[in-house]
C-alpha cells in the first residue's frame, strides 16, 4: 500500500514578509496587517453594528470582560506556567474593591475602577504570594480554593453586605462609554501583552515555564518573575471584576462564582493556548453561546466543560493555531 504523509510548506508571501520586503507592496502590507485590522475594526464597530439589538449590545461588554479574563489566564498558564483555576478570585476582589471605593467612600466611577484595579492587583498578588514558590498541581490547588475561601469569609463574617451583596454602585454615564471603555482596554491589554511577551523580559517569563532551573542558574530570581506575572494577570482580572461590578451596579458573592473561573479556561483552550488572540477569540465564541443557552441553567457549564475536554483531547492546539497554520502554510499529500 502506498503511504502518504502531509507536507506543510510556508507560503511564499509569508517568507517574503518576514524580511525586508515586508512593506514593498500593498499585497504584503495587507498580508501582515489584514488580520489584525479586521479584528480591531470589527471589535470597534461591533456596538454600532448591533445598534438594532440592545440586548446583544450589552453582551458585548460581558464578552470583552471575559476576554480580558481569558487573556490573563492564557498569560499565566502558557507564558509563566502557573495554572490558575480560580480566575474568580480576581473578579471577586476587583468587584468588591470597586464597591468599597464607590459605595462606602463615594469616589467617582472612573477613579473607583482605576483604584480597584490597582489595589486589587496588589491584594491578589499579596494573597497568592505564599503559593508562588510552587508550580503545577500545587499552584492550581491553592488558586482553586481562594474564591471559595473569600466567599466563605464574607458569608461567615457578614461583612460587605454579606450574602445580599452591595447594591447601588454608580453606573456609566452613557452606553457608549460603557462599551468603548472595555473594548479599548481589551485592545490595549491584548496588544500590550503581545508586545510584552516578545520583549526580552517575556523570554525570561517563558523560561520560567520551560525550565526554571535554567532561569535560576542565570542569576534571576524565579519568584520575583512570578510575582510580576501574577501582578499583571491579576491587574487584568481585577479590571474585569471592577468593570462587571459597575456594569451590574452590584457587587456580590456571585462575583466569586464558578463561571469566572471556567469560561476563561475554556475559551483559552478552545481558542488556542499561548496565542493571546486565541483566548479573546474563544471568549467571543463562548460568551454569545452562553447567552443563547441562558435558559438551560447550569447545563451551560456542563457544555463548556465537555467542549473543554474534547478540545484538550482531540484538538489540543486550539482554533487559533489551526487558523494561523492555514494562513501561513499550505499543505499537500506526498508519497513517503
**Closer residue to another protein, CB minimum distance, 218 or 298:** 298
Owner of C-alpha cell 493571546? 276
Closest CA to 334 of 1, 12, 8: 8
| Dist CA 183 CA 163 (whole Å) | 31
Stretch that binds another protein, among 9-17, 40-48, 49-57, 310-318 (CB under 8 A): 310-318
What DSSP assignment string belongs to 10-54? E-HHHHHHHTGGGGSSHHHHHHHHHHHHHHHHHHHHHHHHTTT-H
Stretch that binds another protein, among 112-120, 164-172, 230-238, 295-303 (CB under 8 A): 295-303
**Closer residue to another protein, CB minimum distance, 178 or 212:** 212
Give the residues across from 251 on adjacent strands. 166
Nearest approach, Cβ of residue 296 and another protein (Å): 7
Query: How many residues form the binding site for another protein (CB under 8 A)?
Result: 48
Nearest approach, Cβ of residue 190 and another protein (Å): 22
Cα-based distances in Å from 300 to 65, 141, 290, 294, 296:
18, 24, 6, 7, 6
Print the binding letters for residues 112-131 with another protein: x by CB under 8 A, - otherwise: ------------------xx
Contact 128, 76 (CB under 8 A): no
Give the residues across from 6 on adjacent strands. 333
What are the φ and ψ backbone dihedral angles of 332, each rounded to 5 degrees?
-150, 155
253 binds another protein (CB under 8 A): no
Give the other-Cβ count within 10 Å of 199's Cβ.
Answer: 10
257 binds another protein (CB under 8 A): no
**Closer residue to another protein, CB minimum distance, 73 or 235:** 73
Owner of C-alpha cell 473561573? 261
| Dist CA 38 CA 181 (whole Å) | 20
265 binds another protein (CB under 8 A): yes
Binding test (CB under 8 A) with another protein, winner from 140, 233, 247, 276: 140
Q: Is 274 helix (H, G, I), strand (E, B) or coil?
A: coil
316 binds another protein (CB under 8 A): yes
Binding test (CB under 8 A) with another protein, winner from 9, 177, 201, 305: 305
Stretch that binds another protein, among 36-44, 58-66, 159-167, 305-313 (CB under 8 A): 305-313
217 binds another protein (CB under 8 A): no
298 binds another protein (CB under 8 A): yes
Residue ranges that bind another protein, judged by CB under 8 A: 77-78, 81, 83, 85, 130-131, 133-138, 140-142, 144-146, 148-149, 152-153, 155-156, 212-213, 216, 222, 258, 262, 265-266, 269, 296-299, 301-302, 304-306, 308-309, 312-313, 316
Amino acid at each position: 500500500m502506498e503511504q502518504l504523509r502531509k507536507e506543510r510548506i510556508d507560503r511564499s508571501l509569508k517568507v517574503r514578509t518576514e524580511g525586508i520586503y515586508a512593506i514593498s507592496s500593498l499585497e504584503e502590507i495587507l498580508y501582515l496587517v489584514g488580520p489584525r485590522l479586521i479584528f480591531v475594526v470589527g471589535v470597534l464597530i461591533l456596538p454600532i453594528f448591533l445598534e438594532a439589538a440592545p440586548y446583544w449590545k450589552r453582551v458585548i461588554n460581558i464578552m470583552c470582560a471575559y476576554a480580558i479574563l481569558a487573556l490573563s489566564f492564557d498569560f499565566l498558564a502558557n507564558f509563566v506556567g502557573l495554572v490558575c483555576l480560580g480566575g474568580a478570585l480576581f473578579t471577586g476582589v476587583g468587584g468588591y474593591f470597586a464597591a468599597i471605593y464607590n459605595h462606602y467612600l463615594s469616589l467617582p466611577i472612573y477613579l473607583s475602577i482605576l483604584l480597584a484595579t490597582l489595589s486589587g492587583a496588589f491584594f491578589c498578588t499579596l494573597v497568592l504570594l505564599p503559593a508562588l514558590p510552587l508550580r503545577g498541581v500545587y499552584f492550581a490547588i491553592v488558586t482553586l480554593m481562594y474564591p471559595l475561601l473569600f466567599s466563605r469569609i464574607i458569608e461567615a463574617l457578614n461583612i460587605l453586605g454579606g450574602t445580599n451583596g452591595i447594591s447601588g454602585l454608580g453606573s456609566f454615564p452613557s452606553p457608549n462609554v460603557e462599551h468603548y471603555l472595555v473594548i479599548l482596554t481589551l485592545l490595549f491589554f491584548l496588544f500590550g501583552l503581545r508586545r510584552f511577551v516578545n520583549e526580552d523580559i517575556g523570554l525570561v517569563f517563558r523560561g520560567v515555564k520551560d525550565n526554571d532551573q535554567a532561569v535560576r542558574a542565570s542569576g534571576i530570581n524565579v519568584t520575583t518573575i512570578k510575582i510580576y506575572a501574577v501582578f499583571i494577570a491579576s491587574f487584568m482580572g481585577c479590571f474585569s471584576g471592577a468593570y462587571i461590578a459597575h456594569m451590574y451596579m452590584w457587587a456580590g458573592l456571585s462575583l466569586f462564582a464558578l463561571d469566572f473561573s471556567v469560561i476563561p479556561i475554556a475559551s483559552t483552550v478552545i481558542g488556542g493556548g499561548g496565542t493571546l488572540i486565541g483566548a479573546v477569540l474563544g471568549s467571543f465564541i463562548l460568551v454569545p453561546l452562553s447567552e443563547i443557552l441562558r435558559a438551560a441553567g447550569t447545563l451551560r457549564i456542563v457544555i463548556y466543560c465537555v467542549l473543554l475536554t474534547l478540545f484538550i483531547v482531540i484538538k489540543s492546539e486550539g482554533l487559533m493555531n489551526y487558523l494561523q497554520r492555514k494562513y501561513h502554510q499550505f499543505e499537500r499529500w506526498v508519497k513517503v
